[in-house]
Amino acid sequence: MQLKVLTLIMAATAMAATNEPCFGADGRAGVCVSTSACSSAGGITIAGGCPADAADIKCCTKASCSNTSAGNCRWQSDCAGSSVANQCPGPAQMKCCSSAATGFGGYAAPAFPAVGACKAVAVTGAKTLVAAWPGRVRQIYCTRDCACPGTSDHCCGKAIDFMCSDGGGIPTTSGRQLAEWVMNNRATLNLKYVIYGQKIWNPSQDSVKAWTSWRPMEDRGDVTQNHWDHVHVSFN
């Protein structure tokens, strides 16, 4: 019995991705940290915002930081103004932003892979999304060096990673809008499934719903593996 309880606790702990993004009240950008780390940084804790919410890890937001009256804590990649360090909960990339406006994207148009190893459905889907969201995708990856069929749809050239933050491994909340757009345009895109922010949506299993209600995925270990710096789209 004791073993079973321990196993359950460990499984739940593995779900909670500490120092990774979450959305707090009113969709405000937050970070998953311990409740004590949140309060010592002057933040507000919101229950249910982090995967599994286990091991005292909760979504922490800070609506007012001392940069300017408009300042709030957000991921540096998403800040439209200037960012000041050491005023926010979470890792260094969570900073006090001088602007209340969203600062998503602003990137030059990414290069598209040629149709070939990367299949036409994926190339077309990539171009359709980028055209709908100018400036929001910094880079595109399609194929991966693996045999088809393999562990990933990238192996068969039927998946695209839409990198939507300032760099690989840098988290963003920008991907949420892109991921929901993919869901809403599933027929046009010939969508197999879409992943963003440790959540997955599959048209053959899931009804249309807000990203916050998508099925949670296990903690794979880091910002990239948990899809906080890109949206993964698999095509049929």
Return residues touching Zn ion (CB under 5 A): 161, 232
Of 78 and 161, nearer to Zn ion (C-beta) is 161
Q: How far is the CB of 18 from Zn ion (least distance, A)?
A: 23
Of 23 and 193, nearer to Zn ion (C-beta) is 193
Q: What is the 3-state secondary structure (H, E, C) of 138-199?
A: CEEECCCCCCCCCCCHHHHCCEEEEECCCCCCCCCCCHHHHHHHHHHCHHHHCEEEEEECCE
Q: How far is the CB of 162 from Zn ion (least distance, A)?
A: 9
Q: How far is the CB of 223 from Zn ion (least distance, A)?
A: 14
Residue facing Zn ion at closest CB distance? 232
Of 100 and 144, nearer to Zn ion (C-beta) is 144
Which of these, 162, 197, 160, lies nearest to 176 by C-alpha position?
197
Q: How far is the CB of 95 from Zn ion (least distance, A)?
A: 28
Position of tokens 């949420």? Answer: 176
Helices and strands, counts by H and E, the chain: 5, 13
Q: How far is the CB of 232 from Zn ion (least distance, A)?
A: 4
- Positive or negative, the CA dihedral 73, 77, 79, 83 is positive
The stretches of the chain forming alpha helices (DSSP H) are 2-15, 35-40, 120-132, 175-184, 186-189
Of 97 and 191, nearer to Zn ion (C-beta) is 191
Of 119 and 232, nearer to Zn ion (C-beta) is 232
Of 76 and 143, nearer to Zn ion (C-beta) is 143
Q: How far is the CB of 161 from Zn ion (least distance, A)?
A: 4
Residue 41, phi-psi category: left (phi > 0), alpha (psi -120 to 50), beta (remainder): alpha
Query: Cα separations (Å) of 14 from 19, 107, 120, 203?
Result: 13, 34, 37, 27
The stretches of 28-119 forming alpha helices (DSSP H) are 35-40
